[in-house]
């Protein structure tokens, strides 16, 4: 717009005051919290890491190769010890134990002492007990509440 509106273009220059150390600390803390919480896109985070590494003259590829070697050694050591690990060498949680124990089933057959038919538990060590014995209510209590 300046080129179109003025014969001798003079472009604006922005001059900002230096940030105070308190403001820098606040920005650093906020940025650190964003990065550690995962709120920043990994591609942006990688770009920031690359720029910082370039500024500090750090060879990221050499560091990554070293980390990969350490991870491979960690995985190999864990497997040699008989420990299951993920790709980074972290131990996996134990696998759940599967049993053939039957699951409790409810029945509405009723019993001689309660011919109305309150639910009873079958298929467990509590077979034949009324479900109300476990939850503290009876079928008649349930119907009176409605």
For residues 50 and 57, give the distance between their C-alpha atoms in angstroms, rounded to a whole number.
10
Strands (E), the chain: 105-107, 120-122
pLDDT over threshold 80, residue 73: yes
For residue 10 the two structure tokens come to 């003079």
pLDDT over threshold 80, residue 53: yes
Nearest-10 Cα torsion for 84, 88, 93, 97: -40
What was the pLDDT predicted at 69?
A: 92
- What Cα–Cα distance (Å) separates residue 73 from each residue in 29, 55, 77, 92, 109? 35, 31, 6, 17, 62
Per-residue pLDDT band for 49 (boundaries 50, 70, 90) equals: confident
Q: Is the pTM of this model over 0.85?
A: no
Burial of 120: CB neighbours in 10 Å, binned 0-12, 13-18, 19+: buried
pLDDT, tens only, 10-25: 888 888 888 899 999 9
pLDDT, tens only, 90-142: 888 887 777 777 666 665 555 555 555 555 555 555 554 555 555 555 555 55
For residues 46 and 100, give the distance between their C-alpha atoms in angstroms, rounded to a whole number.
49
């Amino acid at each position: 717009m300046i080129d179109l509106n003025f014969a001798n273009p003079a472009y604006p220059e922005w001059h900002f005051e230096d940030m105070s150390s308190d403001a820098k600390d606040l920005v650093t803390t906020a940025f650190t919290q964003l990065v550690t919480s995962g709120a920043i896109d990994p591609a942006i985070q990688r770009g920031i890491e690359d720029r910082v590494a370039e500024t500090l003259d750090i060879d990221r590829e050499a560091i990554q190769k070293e980390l990969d070697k350490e991870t491979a050694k960690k995985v190999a050591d864990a497997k040699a010890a008989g420990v299951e690990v993920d790709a980074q060498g972290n131990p996996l949680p134990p696998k759940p134990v599967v049993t053939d124990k039957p699951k409790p089933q409810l029945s509405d057959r009723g019993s001689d002492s309660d011919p109305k038919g309150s639910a009873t538990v079958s298929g467990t060590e509590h077979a034949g007990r009324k479900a109300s014995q476990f939850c503290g209510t009876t079928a008649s209590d349930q119907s009176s509440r409605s």
